[in-house]
Each structure stands twice: as C-alpha cells, then as structure tokens.
Structure 1
Amino acid sequence: MTARIAYCTDMEKSVLANNFEKRGWFQVSPDDEWYFYWAGAQTCRSLFSVDSGYRMNDNQMINHFPTHYELTRKDLLVKNIKRYRRELEREGSTLAARDATGRYIHLDFLPTTFMLPADYNLFVEEFRRNPNTTWILKPAGRSQGVGIFLVNKLAQIKKWSRDTKSSFNPTLVKDTYVISRYIENPLLIGGKKFDLRMYVLVTSYRPLKAYMYKQGFCRFCTVRYDTSGQELDNMFVHLTNVSIQKHGASISHPSPHPYSPQEEYNSVHGGKWPVRTLRLYLEGTRGKSRTDRLFSDITWLVVHSLRAVAPIMASDRHCFECYGYDIIIDDQLKPWMIEVNASPSMTSTTANDRILKYKLVDDIISIVLPPDGVPNVHWNKIPSPDKFGDFELLLDEEVYQNSDHHHQHTSGHRGGGKTSDRHSAPRWK
C-alpha cells in the first residue's frame, strides 16, 4: 500500500500535482510538517541559508542541492570546468591532454568563455587574435534568454559598457556576465538552428550517482539561420528558448514541421522534436556509427561536468536534483554544452510536452524514494532497475568502486563508471 505523504510545492504545475495526487499524497504548506518538497531554486536557497535555522529531519526530501548553483550558474560552471581541467593536468591525467594548438582533446565541450568584468582584458586579447568571430553575452544568473545579445565588434562591447554605467568596475557591477564564442556552424535542419534539452537526475554527489533521461527533445528556432552576420539582433534566429520563440510570429497558419521555412511558432508541436526523431534523422543523413558517437560524446560531457562540481557540491542526503542540460550540435556533429538549468521548465506547451514531463516527474519520484515510498536519508539511494522508467543509469561510483572492475579505467575517469569507453555506442536511445 502506498504511503500517505505530506508534500508541498511552490510551483503550480499540473504535471507535479497530478503525480503527487496519483500516489495519494496530500498537500500542506511549507510551515506544516512535510515529507517531500518540490521547490524553486530560490526557495531552496532560503531554506538552506544559515539565517533560516531550518533543519530537516530524516524523513524529508527536497529537489535541489544547497549549492546547485556551482553547476547551474553560468559563470560558476565555467570556473569549475576550468578548475577540473587544471587539476587533471596537475595529476598528469591523459584526460587533460591537449593538441598542438593548445586545445583540450577530450575535455573540449565548452565554447571559449570569459567572465565580465573580471576577464575583460583576456577577452580583448582573444578577440584581437580572432577578429572575425561572433560572441554571445549572457547575464550569469538569469534564464529563459533574458538579457542575451550577440556582438562581433569590440565597439559593441564598449557601447554596452557605457550603457550599463561602469559595468567594468567590479566594485559597482552587480551582475556578472559570461561572454562565449558563438557556435557559428550549428547543425541546421531545414535551415533552422536548434538545441538539445537533456534531463539528468543526480541523487548523490558523494558518491556520485546520476541518471540520463532517454526522452529529451530538440527546440527549433522559428526563423532560418543566417550566416552573414546581418541578423545578430534577431533573437528568433539565434535563441531556441520557447519563452522567446513563442512570441516570434503568428500561429494562425501553423506549418506542418518545426523546420518549415515559414517564420512562425507552431503551437501543436511547439517547435520541438523528440530526441528519438533527431536520432533517426541523423542516422539517415550521417550514418549510425557517427550518430552513436555523437550521443556517446553527449554522455561524456555530462559525466565530466558532474565530476567537475562533485568535490565542491554540498551533497546533502536530503536532496536530489533534475538538471536540464542545453546542448548545441555543430555541423561536424560535435556537441557543445551551453548551460545547465537548475529548474527546467515543468510548463507543458504541447500535448507531447505534458506526457513527457508527467512521465519525467513520475520516474524521478520512483528513483529517489526508498522501496516503501517514504523519504529516508539512511537509504543508500540504489533503486532496483525496475524503478528506472525512462532513465538510464549514467554512473554510480559506489556500486562501481565495490565491484571487481574498480581497478580498470580509474586513471581516466576519477573513480570509473559506466562511460569508460568514450565512443562505445550509448545504451539510451
């Protein structure tokens, strides 16, 4: 019999409420005694703050780690990946090998990125070495495409500096910005740019336990991609965020495919493709082995981004987290990690969206709760495979380190795991 669980949430989303109600749970307020809390990132920060004085008991669980921002804040993500590379170099790991130009061979999955205002002089040096490149500027702590713009001239940066009133004075600026080399050769389908949203569930950072969801999706722009540089100000060309694209144009004459040349947002498919459709398309146009290698590379970048933050993440046993990874694929089928979202949207923009996100939440709850359905910090967080649903185990360092294979691959993977062969065919499809 399913346990009666008191839950609370500050997100009024049907995919959450329907999952909780299906289990016979009942809603309470945050001030009441609760067992399970699906909270926004800001709520979690307040709850874990020193000032709150709140202490969770052994039967409470919440959907964020206290320091999740080490992975999900754009500037901290870059800083932690760079630190991870340096540490591996100091250890003499082959993972940190570089080619003749100084680029990382195995860990080159982040576009060249600088923090502003702190790295302004370094950015200028890089810009002058490659003056014909485009850069994308983003506020480090915002989401949904807010405050993003593209530049291809230093004068544009200087104008932005003036417009934001001494933004290069670190004592005055409140918002850190990241400026990254723009991926100017994205893979296009039907002439349109897209990115890939993948869901990754982490149930523990020490030891690291993570799962990849098989049912991600692509988000398409509504406007054809322009390579001339004349459309730098048109975010409908460059940013795939649904929060932006749905305001792009009329939906009175919906097009049949997300890659239609018509410049409009389609409310039926929401400008989205399931990841399985992308996979079939790529297998048909690029071949199965090349497609398998792409998805293996995506697994690789996810694993190493998690390993980069694991040592500094506050791995509270009351916590789990579902991250939304945003990935751009270039025309050479190389994946680039653009950002990681702490609270991927649970809003359903289409019927398929609602089905996917309902199942996502259902599978998350099945994995993070012990067999009796009651949160318990003393549980080892090793669910039986029949609880995985559409998740695939990405790595479980505890299981691996206790196995007979612990001595294999550890130098290359800091504790080993399922992904020891970078280009073996991935099992999630």
Structure 2
Amino acid sequence: MKRRYEQRFPKFKFQEPGETYGLMPRITPSSNLKTEIIQNNSTEQIYPHLKKRIANSQSKEKSDDSCILIGNTLKSLERRVMKPRISYQPEISPNKQVRLRSKSIKKQPKFDGIYYEGEKFCQEQDFQEKYANMRQYYNYVNISNGLFIKPTVNYYKANVSKSNNGQLVRTLLKQRWWWLVVDNDKDNVNFLWESARNDNFIISMPCSEQVDRNDNFNIQQDFLDAQTESHPYAKILPKNLVIQMNLQDKQIGKQGKLLNYEQCQQFCNNIRIFEITSTTKIHNHIQNNTHLGSKKNLFLNLKKYYELNSLNVFEFLPLTYHIKNKYDLENYIIHNFDTKKIWIVKPGELTNRGHGIQIFQNVNEVNMFLKGNHQHRNGSSKTFIVQQYITNPLLYNQRKFDIRCFILFTGINGRQKGYWYQDGYIRTSSKEFNLNNLQNKMIHLTNDAVQKYSEDYGKFEKGNKISFEEFKKYITPEKFNLVYQKMKQIALDQFKAAAELLDPLKRENTFELFGLDFMIDESYNTWLIETNTNPCLEQTGPLLTGFMPQLIDNLLKLVIDPLYPPPQFYSAKKFVYECLDNKFELIYDSSKLKLNRKNVIIDNEL
C-alpha cells in the first residue's frame, strides 16, 4: 500500500552519484548556469570525484522536466532545489528553532543556598528549608539538655529485640538511613532496645559529669507567654528557652538556624561539647526503673511523696496495703474487718500483663491466700499489694474499662526530664460488668494479654479499644477534661516522687517509656492503678495501627535523633521527616525544681 505523499511525486530518474547525501546543485537565476556546492551540516568533506561530475553538468542544457533524488528529498530542478531533509519533518529554519527553544525553557534564577552550599547538599530551596528546620530542632532539644553535639562518625548501630512489637521499632529506625540494625551484637552498639532492662549494658554507660544547674537567661520579663505557646517546640522545651528562641528565630539565613557552639552558649551558659562516637551508648531502660514499675515501689514512693507534701495518697490510689510478712498481714486484717469489701491482690514485684492478679470476695479469702508459701525462683519470699477493688466503676456500654496513657523519662547529660504523651486510648472488657462472678477475668481485667483470649474479643469495639475523641463524646468534653488533668497531675507526681531514685548515678544517655493505667468511678474520681516499664506496643486493632507508630516515632524524634543526627552529606532523596510536631509534653525538669527546707519538691516551673 502506497503512502499518501508518494502519490504526489512525479516520475523521476535516479541521477548519479548515490553518495551525494548532503550535497546538491544550486541553480542561480543568471543566463550562465553556475553551480555551487552546498554542504550539509552533518557533512564536512567534499569528495573530488563529485566536484568533477558537477562541473560537467554545468555544460549541459537542462531541457527535461525531471526530478532528482538528493538525500531523502524529491524535488524538481525546474522549480527549486531545497536542502536535504527528511520528507515528513517540518522545515524549521535554525533561527526559528532557537526562538522556539528559548520559549519552552524558562530561565531559572541562580540559587546559592540559603543555609548550605556545596555538592554534598541538595541545592533546592524547599529542601534546604526543611533540613535547616530539622537541624534547628535538634539544636534546641540538645541545648535544653546542656549539650552541643559534635558527631565523629557517619553511621550508628542499633540492636532491637523482636519481642513486644520490636519490628515496629526496627522499621522506624531503618527509615533513618544513617542507622544500621544488627541482630547478634548487643555490646558494641550505640542503641539497645529490649523488653527487659539490660544491666550489663547500663553499667557500660559512663555517668554524667554534669550536675543540674538552673540556667537563668537574660530575658526580658515583659515577653508574653502567648509568644511561647505559639512556638512549634513550646510543649517539649522549658519556657525560658522558648522565649530566647523567639529572639533567635527572627534572624534569617545561617545565623538563624545553623547554630554554632558560640551561639548555643548564648542560650545555655553551661553548655557542653559532646562528641558522638561509635561507642556512645543509649538504652531504653533506666537503671532503677522498678521504683515506678513495680507495684510495691510505686505505692511506697507515692505514699512518701504525698505525706511529705501533706496530701493523702488514697486520693490518687485506691486503698492499698503492702504485705511482706505476717506482721503486715495482721495489721491489714485488724484495719479491715468489713467483710463486704472486695479486694484485688497483685504481686508486689515487677509484673505486668495481668500475671498473678486475683480478686477475692472478702478479707478471709485474702488471709487464706497470703498465708500460703509464695517464693520467687531464687528462694526469696514474694510480697503482695492488696488493694481495695473499685466496685462502682464508670462503665462503657455496661462493660468495665481502663485508660492507658504514656509517660517518658529521660536522663541525658545529668538532666532528668519527664514528658506526658498527650494521646492515649480506652481498653474495654468483653463481658458485661457484675460482681457475682469475680473469677471471670474477661469481666474484671482489661489487659490485652487477658482479653485477646475472650470469644467476644473485638465484638463490640475493634481490638477492644476506643480513642480519646470517642470517649470524650461519651462522657462529655467537660468531664473528660477533668479526668485528663487529674491523670496528668498524677503523672507529674510520679516524676517528682521517684526521679532521683530512677537514675541515681545520672548515666549520660538513658530513657524509659512507661505505660500508665487509670480507672474512673461513677463520681468521676480518677485513680492510678499501676505503672508498667514494658507497656504493650502491639498494634491490636485499627486504632493502634496508627497510634503506635506515631508514639514510637515521636519518642525517637525527641530522644534518639537529636543525639545521633544524620551525617552532613544529605540529599533530598534521603530526607526522613518534614513534620517536627511532637505529642510529648515536658511536665518535669530537674533543673527547674524548687525545694523547701526539708528537700521536698514544692514547685516545678517550666
């Protein structure tokens, strides 16, 4: 089948030579025909035998209406001869091509880098803004701990346990491309994440040479608090530091966000240059975490703290007794002759996930249980917490529930800080509440480790969980705020009561995430039930599928990333996160404490 353009061509005879691609005779309008050799752009050589043939053609008179094939172009010599080109391409003069090209390509303004210059940094303005904001965030968190970080290595090693959803921690850590997660080595790593405390790893961490000092900046006191509240890091940093930051943030360019050591000294007089090496270690557990994690120590520490501050511990905890010997048991029986009270008995030492918890109908049943022989594997006697059972709990659709919240304790450079996580969730039971069947744990214990074995698990709420927002609608926002503030206050009281006991030697870098369980009664009284050192991080149900990654990522942004920043060679393809918002809120700072004559904490100004 012939193509369309072939039908328009007249008959032609092929003229030698066939090698004349790019060469063609040009006929001038004068009477004496002269021939010029026009060379194609792609042809740089004129062959001698072609010159001879063209010269011979000048002596012949052209009379026929023939067509000559020149290159790939068919044209009649009678009309005109064109430069060789492919027949189906449009003819565009070189000048016109340049003009079209100049219109299609916009001239980009030269960008020399607002913050970073050189090949090792991406020179896109948007990237430089994001990366500078991230570096600024790291600086401010480190300044609040009295540190100026000076990395000496480009990559760090981490070992992450696979238990308690360690895979989530591994995934989030691997997103930070400067971390290498190893499986077999626990001693020669920078970061160790395990479910249980590793005492050998903690002992290998040096103690901080720094002591807490109250950093008093030269700040104009007429700055409004509203200026600090609007700052993106206002929740996680001390207020006086935020005020000073507002002054620094007004500067533009390198002087505004890329703080050097001299600039950091303006924020903190006692700042320390801290070199991060391949041996700089951090662990996700504190040396004495049992001072909050075990039920007996939690009770004893809070009891002592509240008594020193002229407060009744049983306004925050249910009526509680620590039974460690027969004399404690006799004292408990004498004071509790009311047989109508229901009691819950828990192991005094470190346990979680509902292990060893039992509910008894009266004092006599408790007495019979405690008189038994209870020993640990090492032969030492077990102790117990006997706590009055809340018989009038606030119910969610006729079922019992508790509230899971999180707090974070950090000990960095000798400075101890406590953070409250602003979000949490409600854990519901699978069976309707009643006091006639105290042995059914599906009615009385809301732990995931217990409820996941119920035949009705997930029947009413997916994963037996509801969000704070759903719960707020259920009990009204006003009542929820009342409960929320009480929980937050109890969390702060825990830090004040046990901070010095948790990290007595002030290791250089350490932290611990605690899970807090609260309950509410029908009068909306809020009670702390227990604090866990290894809170469940499993993503059970759709609510926790989004909740847990955000919780761990916020933790890494606050504790790990500022201490172990990425290396200086950084590209947009390796950028990790853009959002620097953090749901952790600073509620305790050991450098801002005020003590009375009895060394009792009376204030904590942030």
Q: Which residue of 2 aligns with 1:214?
A: 422
Secondary structure of the corresponding residue to residue 315 of structure 2: coil
Secondary structure of the corresponding residue to residue 371 of structure 1: helix
Secondary structure of the corresponding residue to residue 509 of structure 2: coil
Q: Which residue of 2 aligns with 1:186?
A: 393
Distance (Å, rounded) in 1 between the aligned partners of 2:199 and 2:332: 32
Length-normalised TM-score, structure 1? 0.76
Q: Which residue of 2 aligns with 1:324?
A: 515
Q: Is the 8 A contact 2:159 2:186 kept in 1?
A: no
Is 2:181 the partner of 1:27? Answer: yes
Q: Which residue of 2 aligns with 1:354?
A: 545
Deviations 1:332-358 (A, max 9, x none): 111111111101112222233132111
Partner amino acid for 1:35?
N
Candidates 367, 370, 393, aligned match of 2:586: 393
Distance (Å, rounded) in 1 between the aligned partners of 2:388 and 2:441: 16
Candidates 327, 339, 358, aligned match of 1:131: 339
Alpha-carbon distance, 1:172 to partner: 6.7
Is 2:201 the partner of 1:47? Answer: yes
Candidates 283, 307, 311, aligned match of 2:500: 311
Size of the aligned set, in residue pairs, is 360
Q: Is the 8 A contact 2:465 2:543 kept in 1?
A: no
Q: Describe the shift of the 1:278–1:233 C-alpha distance in structure 2 as closer, same or farther (beyond 3 A).
A: same
Distance (Å, rounded) in 1 between the aligned partners of 2:390 and 2:314: 17
With a CA cutoff of 8 Å and minimum separation of 6, indicate the structure with the bigger relative contact order.
1
Alpha-carbon distance, 1:84 to partner: 1.3
Distance (Å, rounded) in 2 between the aligned partners of 1:76 and 1:159: 24
Is 2:431 the partner of 1:223? Answer: yes
Q: Is the 8 A contact 1:367 1:387 kept in 2?
A: no
Secondary structure of the corresponding residue to residue 211 of structure 1: strand
Percent identical residues: 22
Q: Describe the shift of the 1:387–1:307 C-alpha distance in structure 2 as closer, same or farther (beyond 3 A).
A: farther
Distance (Å, rounded) in 1 between the aligned partners of 2:200 and 2:456: 40
Distance (Å, rounded) in 1 between the aligned partners of 2:322 and 2:299: 9
Partner amino acid for 2:170?
A
Distance (Å, rounded) in 2 between the aligned partners of 1:325 and 1:395: 16
Alpha-carbon distance, 1:210 to partner: 1.7
Alpha-carbon distance, 1:27 to partner: 1.4
Q: Which residue of 2 aligns with 1:415?
A: 603
Residue range with higher mean Cα deviation, 335-344 or 25-34: 25-34
Q: Is the 8 A contact 2:345 2:386 kept in 1?
A: yes
Alpha-carbon distance, 1:390 to partner: 2.0
Is 2:327 the partner of 1:174? Answer: no
Secondary structure of the corresponding residue to residue 319 of structure 1: strand
Partner amino acid for 1:81?
L
Q: Is the 8 A contact 2:187 2:201 kept in 1?
A: no
Q: Describe the shift of the 1:120–1:387 C-alpha distance in structure 2 as closer, same or farther (beyond 3 A).
A: farther
Residue range with higher mean Cα deviation, 59-68 or 8-17: 8-17
Distance (Å, rounded) in 2 between the aligned partners of 1:306 and 1:338: 16
Is 2:323 the partner of 1:116? Answer: yes
Is 2:334 the partner of 1:145? Answer: no
Candidates 247, 260, 263, aligned match of 2:453: 247
Secondary structure of the corresponding residue to residue 193 of structure 1: strand
Candidates 465, 472, 487, aligned match of 1:272: 465
Distance (Å, rounded) in 1 between the aligned partners of 2:380 and 2:323: 10
Gaps of 5+ in 2: 1-120, 122-130, 132-153, 207-276, 567-578
Distance (Å, rounded) in 2 between the aligned partners of 1:289 and 1:417: 26
Secondary structure of the corresponding residue to residue 352 of structure 1: helix
Candidates 18, 24, 39, aligned match of 2:171: 18
Candidates 56, 63, 68, aligned match of 2:289: 68
Length-normalised TM-score, structure 2? 0.55
Distance (Å, rounded) in 2 between the aligned partners of 1:392 and 1:276: 19
Secondary structure of the corresponding residue to residue 354 of structure 1: helix
Secondary structure of the corresponding residue to residue 124 of structure 1: helix
Residue range with higher mean Cα deviation, 116-125 or 327-336: 116-125
Distance (Å, rounded) in 2 between the aligned partners of 1:48 and 1:82: 29
Partner amino acid for 1:26?
L
Partner amino acid for 1:63?
N
Distance (Å, rounded) in 1 between the aligned partners of 2:557 and 2:161: 21
Q: Is the 8 A contact 1:107 1:301 kept in 2?
A: no
Alpha-carbon distance, 1:414 to partner: 2.5
Q: Describe the shift of the 1:372–1:339 C-alpha distance in structure 2 as closer, same or farther (beyond 3 A).
A: closer
Distance (Å, rounded) in 2 between the aligned partners of 1:366 and 1:172: 43
Is 2:78 the partner of 1:78? Answer: no
Candidates 231, 234, 237, aligned match of 2:443: 237
Alpha-carbon distance, 1:374 to partner: 4.2
Q: Describe the shift of the 1:37–1:232 C-alpha distance in structure 2 as closer, same or farther (beyond 3 A).
A: same
Alpha-carbon distance, 1:387 to partner: 4.2
Secondary structure of the corresponding residue to residue 336 of structure 2: helix
Gaps of 5+ in 1: 89-95, 98-103, 259-268, 376-385, 419-429
Distance (Å, rounded) in 1 between the aligned partners of 2:355 and 2:317: 21
Alpha-carbon distance, 1:207 to partner: 4.5
Q: Describe the shift of the 1:76–1:372 C-alpha distance in structure 2 as closer, same or farther (beyond 3 A).
A: closer
Q: Describe the shift of the 1:388–1:68 C-alpha distance in structure 2 as closer, same or farther (beyond 3 A).
A: farther
Distance (Å, rounded) in 1 between the aligned partners of 2:482 and 2:186: 49
Q: Is the 8 A contact 1:135 1:179 kept in 2?
A: yes
Alpha-carbon distance, 1:127 to partner: 1.6
Distance (Å, rounded) in 1 between the aligned partners of 2:175 and 2:604: 38
Q: Which residue of 2 aligns with 1:263?
A: none
Q: Is the 8 A contact 2:406 2:515 kept in 1?
A: yes
Q: Is the 8 A contact 1:397 1:415 kept in 2?
A: no
Q: Is the 8 A contact 2:343 2:366 kept in 1?
A: no
Partner amino acid for 1:223?
K
Q: Is the 8 A contact 2:517 2:528 kept in 1?
A: yes
